[in-house]
Amino acid sequence: MKSQYLHSGIRIEDYERYVGAETVERILDKSRPFQDRYVANVNSTYYGGGVAELLGPLVLLMNGLGIRTEWRVIQGNPDFFSITKKMHNALQGGEINLSDRKKQIYEDVIRENSLRNYLEHDMVIIHDPQPLPMIEHYRKRGPWVWRCHVDLSCPHKELWHYFVPFIEKYDAVILSIKEYMQNLKTPTLFFLPAIDPFSTKNRELDDQEIDERLEHYGIPDDLPLVVQISRFDYWKDPQGVIDAFKIARREVDCTLVLLGNVATDDPEGTQVYESLLDCQEERIIILSRQDTALVNALQARAAVVLQKSIREGFGLTVSEAMWKGTPVIGGNVGGIRYQIEDGVNGFLVSTVEQAAERIVTLLKDENLRREMGEKGREKVRQNFLLSRYLEQYIDLFNSFETIYRLNYHP
Ligand code: UDP
């Protein structure tokens, strides 16, 4: 069976070269019952951050399979996003003063969004805490799923208790890894995120294209590049990266590039970026730019990529760099542990000193970099390409079929 890809762009068949014909055929077969069904995704930003990164290609692939899949983005004022960012931080273990005023603003903005959005789809997928309460305002026509991408290993208790009544109205919860499992009445599933190998960010670039991007931003590559690419967010520990680099360069000459962006739903980003600017010098380059091809060029050209997060739901940047054959040093947390096998295809670290030591080890050993890089790419090919993620959603739709018919259309 051929997918009826109505849009220009990547089709599931294009994945055959990476995952084989059998996998592609299986996905096509499984998706057949969902032709012309309607699916809605709702999140809080069009760009910046992993959720938007995933939704873009996933929604297109689903439409290519004939599943009528939409992506809606909620609107909110700065107060709302300041509150939801605090909630995001608290879900990852930070503090929050959960006042009635905050709850009121949060719920009011979501109610307004619910008035503007008709969600009469066969399936609704709500992403992350920002639009979570939307479920309060609809009569369900099919299953609603809450897909939470953040690191839930130790959520703030009071906030979690406030969220539970909303969450338990959903038909299923999807988390990235089993360590984030919470005590909920709602069935919980685990989907590790994945990358789109055909995107501007991940497609193969030739040397000339890489040179052009680096030159455009005046990034010298006469010395090995040590790179971290992340939203400007304290959880990504950009300061720790600079400190580790400063220790490492006592032993090996290198250049650090910290590239970051600020998502529209993240009001803290600018402050984090500005707090780093004093650290800039000739060999410490800190850039705030949204340039996808530059992300690709840096991940491809880097000798070492860091993702020294303190908390990390998954960390798409890790798979992105591994896919380019670049070894990654990652924080020993959350979803990063599922991508990096310590000492095999990269290194896991818990301190600045360990990160510095690993930078030195990798920069001094080209063979090790190549070996780890090759294993990293293979790990991503087998586990973290979007075809696998798509298939998990289709399996979920399938498993809902019976319940959906029984409960919603008796
Ligand atoms: N990203 C980007 N430009 C930047 C910083 C990040 O395009 O300057 C992208 C990055 O390549 C990745 C996503 O944003 O695709 C971040 O996802 P991740 O899961 O690593 O972290 P999150 O931001 O969701 O916490």
pLDDT for 292 equals 95
> Global pTM?
0.94
> What is the Å distance from ligand 1's center to 401 Cα?
34
Q: Are 308 and 236 in contact (CB under 8 A)?
A: yes
Packing angle, helices 292-301 and 316-323, rounded to 10: 60
How far apart, in whole angstroms, are the C-alpha atoms of residue 354 and residue 262?
28
Degrees to nearest 5, angle at CA 389 with 9 and 58? 30
pLDDT for 7 equals 44
pLDDT for 267 equals 86
> What is the Å distance from ligand 1's center to 79 Cα?
24
Query: Which residue, by CA, sits nearest to atom 7 of ligand 1?
Result: 292
Residues 342-365, mean pLDDT to the nearest whole number: 98
> What is the Å distance from ligand 1's center to 402 Cα?
37
Q: Is the pLDDT of residue 3 over 50?
A: no
Residues 41-50, mean pLDDT to the nearest whole number: 92
pLDDT for 405 equals 61
> What is the Å distance from ligand 1's center to 42 Cα?
19
> What is the Å distance from ligand 1's center to 209 Cα?
21
Q: Is the pLDDT of residue 4 over 50?
A: no
Query: Which residue, by CA, sits nearest to atom 23 of ligand 1?
Result: 49
Domains contained in the chain, CATH given: 12-194+385-408 (3.40.50.2000), 207-383 (3.40.50.2000)
Query: Which residue, by CA, sits nearest to atom 1 of ligand 1?
Result: 230
pLDDT for 395 equals 96
Q: Is the pLDDT of residue 1 over 70?
A: no
How far apart, in whole angstroms, are the C-alpha atoms of residue 119 and residue 142?
10
> What is the Å distance from ligand 1's center to 262 Cα?
9
Atom of ligand 1 nearest to the CA of 195: 15
Testing ligand 1's pocket by substitution, the residue of 130, 147, 203, 231 carrying the most ligand atoms inside 8 A of its CB is 231
> What is the Å distance from ligand 1's center to 154 Cα?
23
- Given pLDDT bands bounded at 50, 70 and 90, which one contains residue 48? confident
Query: 253-303 pLDDT, tens per residue?
Result: 999 999 998 877 888 899 999 999 999 999 999 999 999 999 999 999 999
> What is the Å distance from ligand 1's center to 52 Cα?
9
How far apart, in whole angstroms, are the C-alpha atoms of residue 107 and residue 395?
32
What are the start-end ranges of the H helices in 168-308?
A: 207-216, 238-248, 269-276, 292-301
- Given pLDDT bands bounded at 50, 70 and 90, which one contains residue 410? very low
Average pLDDT, the chain: 94
Testing ligand 1's pocket by substitution, the residue of 44, 151, 230 carrying the most ligand atoms inside 8 A of its CB is 230
Q: Is the pLDDT of residue 251 over 70?
A: yes
Ligand 1 contacts (CB < 6 A) are: 49-50, 53, 201, 229-231, 259-261, 292, 295, 314-317, 320
Degrees to nearest 5, angle at CA 145 with 140 and 147? 150
Structure tokens at 331: 């924080």
